[in-house]
Chains A and B, each alone.
Chain A
Amino acid sequence: MNREAFLEAFRLLSRLDRELIAITANSMHFALASTLIAAALGIPLGVILAFREFPGRRLIVAATHTLMGLPTVVAGLLVFSFLSRSGPLGWLGLMYTPAAVIIGQAFLALPIVLSLVYSGLTRLEPELIETLITLGATPLQRTLKIVREGRIVVASAALTAFGRVVGEVGTAMMLGGNIRWYTRTITTAIALETQRGAFALSVALGVVLMIVSFGVNFGLNYMVRFRTAP
């Protein structure tokens, strides 16, 4: 890698190179879609887990905590075995499409959202749920109010999940296949283009990814501070 590559990288960034933008857009698209799916499933499940007593609850909580650290390639492998031509869902023809990447990343994001929503909501005032009951709220009205009261918790859970999937490479590579203009993401591009000597693009993408990561962390920090404010 030489000085020339760095200069070229900043040239790519400064003139908003078309391919650079397309790859970044793919990454954002996949991460946002998978986070949304994970949030749609994980928030209501987290509320149920936090406030409903049912057999097996402890086990589910423990399993969810464990799955937060699921290696990305294992998630990729799992989804791969379902979506590949010979797999049970092979007939859908989803392998090496954006949909496959989104499904894989949703698998990574779900335990994060679920676990953080659960642990955040259990730390809300225990009187809150009793207050909602005594004021005559229906179960649905209670759930909506709890999510509203825990909005910072819920938003930071989603942001954490987004941060994890936007920077992961395992499932995006295995399920998307790094197809140019189609499923190539920031991480797969960096991993593969570097080997082919396309340093400039890799460096430029690396800068973009770092800006995104810093942004996510800055957002999380801001929310934590807001949460602990008097």
Chain B
Amino acid sequence: MTGLITIRDLLFSYPGSPPLLSVKELSLDQGRIAVLIGDNGCGKTTLLKVMAGLLTPGAGTVTRSADPLVLVHQKPSLFTESVGANVAWPLKIRRIPRREIRKRLDAALEMVGLEHLENRWAPSLSGGEKQRAAIARALILNPAVLLLDEPTSNIDAPSVETIERVLRVLAAEGTTVIMSTHNLASAYRLADRLLPMVRGSLVPSHENVLRGRALDPGEEHIGRFQLEEGPVIYCPAARGTFTRAVIRMEDIILSAGEMVSSAQNHLAGTVATVLAEDSELVRIELDCGFPLDAVVTHRSVDELELKRGSTVYATFKASAVALY
């Protein structure tokens, strides 16, 4: 499947500055949520702007087979007029008939939960409401691709929840969502695909993000997490609604036979892929009834004679599992 947005050998820099972005290959599929994570200044915003066509790369290609494609900035940049006028504006400039604008405006405002604020003066909204209004102004166009720069930063918790729900609904309806965030919890909850960035480049994610739900620990000191497509794993006891279990790939120990250890989680699996990441590390993709990745050294690969089809045991502590 070819992606809606495909990037190849992209280089970007501002005149007279060192390269800011260098992306070898990235292809994004329809109806999925991809989340860019990384430190300040690692190039997330620049990459989003390149994808949106607002910045022209110095080298490489960006292919977009989607229209419309809208970017919502971190700063919502609402116009100094009413919320309704803001959200309806993209349709108004396209000379859409008034009755249809009315219909789509109502739907967009309702989706982000701002229907009661349609006549409010946009500059008087709270930060979270502004961000929701900016998202409504973008989604009223029924975008094929929605790019969002830090949509959940520095806003109130209910607004974060609303925005996450809206993005999930949009993705389920076929919109491709690409967003950047600092908020790791939000990233884990939303992402179909995590895209970590370091100094302008995409790097492989070193975290397993597993879907499922945490079971009520009751009086136990250890918690359990029911994987969506697999067994129950042990995790720290926590009360509340958690839908993601995150395990760092470095925290998974691979062994040829079953280990006797203090770690609670022992899973048998088959090696699906062996992938050299650099001169030091190798990524092992396991099939344990569900996909689970581990990162080991080349030396371990040789010692365990890991290759496609080998049977191995994956061991990790309950405390290595983080719930989101």
Contacts and interface: CB of A to CB of B under 8 A. Distances in A.
Interface in A115-160: 125, 127-128, 130-131, 133-138, 141, 145, 148-149
Interface in A98-130: 125, 127-128, 130
A132 to B, nearest CB: 9
B109 to A, nearest CB: 17
B73 interface: yes
Interface in B62-98: 68-71, 73, 75, 77, 79-80, 89-90, 93-94
B248 interface: no
A133 B93 contact: no
Contacts of B44: none
Contacts of B52: 134
A130 B79 CA distance: 13
Contacts of B68: 136
A130 B75 CA distance: 11
Contacts of A125: 75, 77
A205 to B, nearest CB: 40
Contact of B71 (A134, A141, A148): A134
Contacts of A148: 79
Nearest to B79: A149
B1 interface: no
B54 A134 contact: yes
A226 B234 CA distance: 59
A128 B77 contact: yes
A140 to B, nearest CB: 10
B93 A137 contact: yes
B90 A130 contact: no
Contacts of B73: 127, 130-131
B190 interface: no
B176 to A, nearest CB: 15
Contact of A135 (B75, B80, B137): B137
Nearest to B137: A135
Interface residues of A, number: 15
Tell me if A's interface is mostly helix, strand, loop or mixed: helix
Contacts of A141: 93
Nearest to B80: A149
A136 B75 contact: no
A78 to B, nearest CB: 39
Contact of B90 (A127, A135, A138, A149): A135
Contact of B94 (A128, A131, A136, A145): A136
Interface in B86-121: 89-90, 93-94
Candidate in B70, B93, B94 with the most chain A CB atoms within 10 angstroms: B93
A128 B76 CA distance: 9
B79 A135 contact: no
Interface string A148-188: 11000000000000000000000000000000000000000
Contacts of A137: 93
Contacts of B75: 125, 127
Nearest to A141: B93
A135 B89 contact: yes
Contacts of B90: 135-136
A148 B70 CA distance: 22
Contacts of A128: 77
A108 B95 CA distance: 40
Contacts of A145: 79
B71 A130 contact: yes
A136 B93 contact: yes
A141 B79 CA distance: 14
B198 interface: no
B212 to A, nearest CB: 36
Contacts of B141: 135-136
Interface of B: 49, 52, 54, 68-71, 73, 75, 77, 79-80, 89-90, 93-94, 137-138, 141
The 8 lowest CB-CB distance pairs between A and B, nearest first, are A127-B77, A131-B77, A127-B73, A134-B71, A135-B90, A141-B93, A127-B75, A128-B77
Given A136-B90, A137-B93, A149-B79, 7 more contacts: A128-B77, A130-B54, A131-B73, A133-B54, A134-B70, A135-B89, A136-B68
16 contacts: A125-B77, A127-B73, A127-B75, A128-B77, A130-B71, A130-B73, A131-B73, A133-B54, A134-B54, A134-B71, A135-B93, A136-B93, A136-B94, A136-B141, A137-B93, A141-B93
